[in-house]
Amino acid sequence: MSADVKTVQVALGERSYEIKVGPKLIANAGQYLKPLLRRARVVIVTDENVAALHLPALEKSLDEAGIHHDAIGMPPGEGTKCFAELQRLSEWLLETGVERGDLVIALGGGVIGDLTGFAASIVRRGVDFAQIPTTLLSQVDSSVGGKTGINTPQGKNLVGAFYQPRIVLADTSALETLPKRELLAGYAEVVKYGLINDRTFFDWLEVNLDRIVSGDVAARTYAIVKSCESKAAIVAADERESNVRALLNLGHTFGHALEAATGFSNRFVHGEGVAVGMALAFDLSVRLGLCPGQDAVRVRRHLERAGLPCRLADVPGELPNAKGLIELMGQDKKVVDGKLTFILARGIGEAFITRNVDAAALRALLEERET
Ligand code: NAD
Ligand code: MG
């Protein structure tokens, strides 16, 4: 096993697992998965885009390790996280003869990880699953922490389960085929970890942005490891989001409203919403006198340099007015007793959770479209 491969531990008692980060993990998956298997067979769930690009390498590695495999390719896109596809997938898993103790592999982005993890949690009341995330977003965020689920007409991720994988293989080589826009959307979540509680990491990102974007494997590995360590620590402290796990929603209350305003479409993807949302969270923190203005400037400058949107004016199409946006924020599932939860910051790396945000300051911020 290569020295370039790093390990992050997710410490959750008997549900603990390792995240492996580095190049060629798909091509070597057999050797990482074999020790986890009760019998030499797995099933692979992927989407059609990823199947065309990365399934052959995974299958070859499993063949070399003498592991039998079946695979299903789901339609790509957020629409696949739905009851109909969950049913189809669950029935397919049963038809392939999946038993308790068998391993289901999610090979793909967050859509495949969320759907597969949820199916694994309910089929035969729970079969083992492994995550092989292939987008930057899924490597630094969705594959870590055990939230799985699907969308319903009532909203995103409203039906699901906490269900931890047995292992995560975050293969930096998979990122080489990822479209730039998807890479940047994932990068917004990387920046988030710096902003939450690690100013030194944010400093490092400022210096190493170009290496990460251009594909430097060592820089990407470092950024993914730091992100996973950060998320793992927060999840270990609060697996079911009773308190500190909410910090991971920095930028997400604003971002969610912007995604909703753009119809949760490809026009404006999640990571782009998070980028604008984080810039707005820092602006609001400055307006409330909590955060030095220069920190908000640094955040916006960095997002801009990465090529991410960071202003309301960057959101394509017409947006609702401030009142409309605040209403959309209220539909976020993080609302408790009708009160919005905000993640604000006392500076870069000093985020905190609050339910008491001055409504007038919030409205004023959202009325000012150029910020
Ligand atoms: P995605 O899974 O839709 O992948 C984005 C696109 O990239 C898809 O078209 C996919 O086919 C393609 N793709 C994937 N890997 C590729 C590769 N290596 N090369 C080329 N194309 C590739 O989206 P995503 O951004 O990975 O994940 C978004 C989902 O993750 C959302 O449903 C969101 O709710 C969920 N999410 C979950 C959590 C969690 O904690 N469970 C956290 C964050 C996000
Ligand atoms: Mg997110």
Mutate to test the pocket of ligand 1, among 26, 53, 114 (most ligand atoms within 8 A of CB): 114
What tokens does 132 get? 């092989």
Of the listed ligands, the closest to the CA of 178 is 1
Whole-structure pTM value:
0.96
Q: What is the pLDDT of residue 1?
A: 64
Q: What is the pLDDT of residue 128?
A: 97
Contact 315, 276 (CB under 8 A): yes
**3 state DSSP class of 367:** helix
**Which residue has the least CA distance to atom 43 on ligand 1?**
142
| Catalytic-residue membership of 15 | no
* 302 annotated active-site: no
Q: What angle do CA 308, 188, 6 make, to 5 degrees?
A: 135
Residues of the chain above pLDDT 70, percent: 97
Name the residue among 221, 220, 361 with its Cα closest to residue 291.
Answer: 361
Pocket around ligand 1 at a 6 A CB cut-off: 47, 49-50, 53, 76-78, 81, 108-112, 114, 134-135, 137-138, 141-142, 145, 147, 156-157, 174, 177-178, 182, 270
Please confirm, yes or no, whether 256 is among the known catalytic residues.
Answer: yes
- Among residues 125, 180, 318, 356, the one annotated as catalytic is 125
Q: Which of 140, 142, 235 to mutate to test the pocket of ligand 1 (most atoms within 8 A of CB)?
A: 142
Which is the closest atom of ligand 1 to the Cα of 81?
Answer: 32
Q: Which residues of the chain have pLDDT under 50?
A: none
**Do the Cβ atoms of 8 and 18 come closer than 8 Å?**
yes
Provide the pLDDT for residue 154.
83
- For ligand 1, atom 36, name the residue with the nearest CA: 142
Residue nearest (by alpha carbon) to ligand 1 atom 14: 109
Q: Which of 54, 147, 156, 220 is catalytic?
A: 147
User: Whose Cα sits closest to atom 21 in ligand 1?
Assistant: 178
**Contact assessment for residue 46 and residue 112, using Cβ atoms and an 8 Å cutoff:** yes
Phi, psi of 141 (to 5 degrees): -140, -75
Write down the pLDDT at residue 336: 65
The predicted pLDDT at position 340 comes to 83
All residues at 6 or more sequence positions from 166 whose CB lies less than 8 Å from its CB, including other chains: 17, 36, 103, 128, 129, 130
Q: How many CB atoms lie within 10 A of CB 7?
A: 12
Residues 6+ apart with CB under 8 A from 273: 251, 252, 254, 255, 256, 258, 259
Q: Does the interface ipTM go beyond 0.95? A: yes
Contact 43, 112 (CB under 8 A): no
Q: How many CB atoms lie within 10 A of CB 283?
A: 24
